[in-house]
Amino acid sequence: MEAIAARPAVSCCRSAVAAGTGPRRLLLNTTSAGARQKSSSARTRRALNIPPHQSFLGFNSGSDGATRPTSDEIIFNPPSSAPSVFHTPFKFLPPSDPRRRANLASELFASSTHNPSSTSPLSSASASEATPSPEDLPLAGGVPPLKPRHHLTKEDIEEMRRLRAEDPVKNSVLNLSRQFQCSKLFVLMCCQAPKEHREKIKSELEQVKARWGPRRRAAREERHRRFAMLFNGEL
């Protein structure tokens, strides 16, 4: 019974193959299992690497096959970089900024001989009003600079040295700078911790360095090397 049931299917396939031409016969014999797929990144990258059309390039090919520009235009496409104050949009400029005025080019590049109206009292008064004062400008580092007060006397410096030598842990550089209202650099210039305290801090630092791995040690050495190159003017 199985052989009898299979005979009509076999005869139909034979008639279909015999009736078709060469390419159709090849298409009929090809299966989906034998087709090559783009399962790797290299094949996918090669398939997607399609060159742009000639209409987008604007170049024509010469007799030797080399591409030549059809016009003398230069496309300026610089890479991305840090924002500059010279390209700040006017929307983000303060009202007192002189760059908001329409005569920016004449104010920056024209001299008084080329622009006599700029020397008039009215224009100078408006320019002085529009020019921001140093107090209105934002801070560069975010922290207001410390102005030297010169309020410490010789007795204060002696007291600072006594406290530092008496208890260097309690009277640290930060605490002394807050107590005497001066900078930490001034405290380091005036007094120094005892030798025992410095040796203790050094031994603790050596214990911390002993627990470093090869990556952290190499990173710290590279950091010191970059600092040396920076101070030597090599960077």
Per-residue pLDDT of 127-166, as tens digits, reads 555 566 766 666 666 667 767 788 889 999 999 999 999 9
Q: List the end-to-end C-alpha distance of the chain, in Å, as a whole number.
A: 90
Q: What's the pLDDT band for 71 if we cut at 50, 70, 90?
A: low
Q: What's the pLDDT band for 46 if we cut at 50, 70, 90?
A: confident
Closest CA to 123 of 100, 107, 99, 105: 107
Shared domain for 187 and 200, answered yes or no, is no
Quote the domain boundaries for residue 225.
Answer: 194-235
Q: What's the pLDDT band for 205 if we cut at 50, 70, 90?
A: very high
pLDDT in tens, 169-194: 999 999 999 999 998 999 999 999 99
Instruction: Judge contact between 184 and 177, C-beta under 8 A.
Output: yes
Q: What is the model's pLDDT at position 131?
A: 64
The yes-or-no verdict on residue 54 having pLDDT over 80 is: no
Shared domain for 201 and 189, answered yes or no, is no
Closest CA to 100 of 64, 75, 129: 129
- Residue with more model confidence, 181 or 21: 181
Q: What's the pLDDT band for 27 if we cut at 50, 70, 90?
A: very low
Tokens 């550089």 belong to: 173
Inside any domain, residue 59: no
Q: What's the pLDDT band for 100 if we cut at 50, 70, 90?
A: confident
b/e string for 221-232 if b means 16 or more Cβ within 10 A? Answer: eeeeeeeeeeee
- Apex 141 CA angle, 140 and 147, nearest 5: 90
Inside any domain, residue 130: no
Q: What is the model's pLDDT at position 55?
A: 61
Q: What is the model's pLDDT at position 26?
A: 46
Inside any domain, residue 230: yes
Helix %, strand %, coil % of the chain (to 5): 55, 5, 40
Inside any domain, residue 36: no
Residues in the chain: 235
Q: How many whole angstroms separate alpha carbon 91 and alpha carbon 96?
A: 13
Shared domain for 189 and 200, answered yes or no, is no
Inside any domain, residue 112: no
% of residues, the chain, pLDDT over 70: 54
Cα dist from 73 to 52, 53, 55, 56, 87, whole Å: 19, 19, 15, 14, 24
Q: What's the pLDDT band for 59 if we cut at 50, 70, 90?
A: low
The yes-or-no verdict on residue 73 having pLDDT over 80 is: no
Q: Mean of the pLDDT values across residues 225-229?
A: 93
Q: What is the model's pLDDT at position 159?
A: 94
The yes-or-no verdict on residue 219 having pLDDT over 90 is: yes
Inside any domain, residue 30: no
Shared domain for 184 and 200, answered yes or no, is no
Shared domain for 186 and 220, answered yes or no, is no
Write out the two tokens for 127: 């320019």
Q: What is the model's pLDDT at position 32?
A: 52
Q: What is the model's pLDDT at position 94?
A: 78
Number of folded domains that form the chain: 2
Q: What's the pLDDT band for 235 if we cut at 50, 70, 90?
A: confident
Inside any domain, residue 158: yes
Shared domain for 234 and 199, answered yes or no, is yes
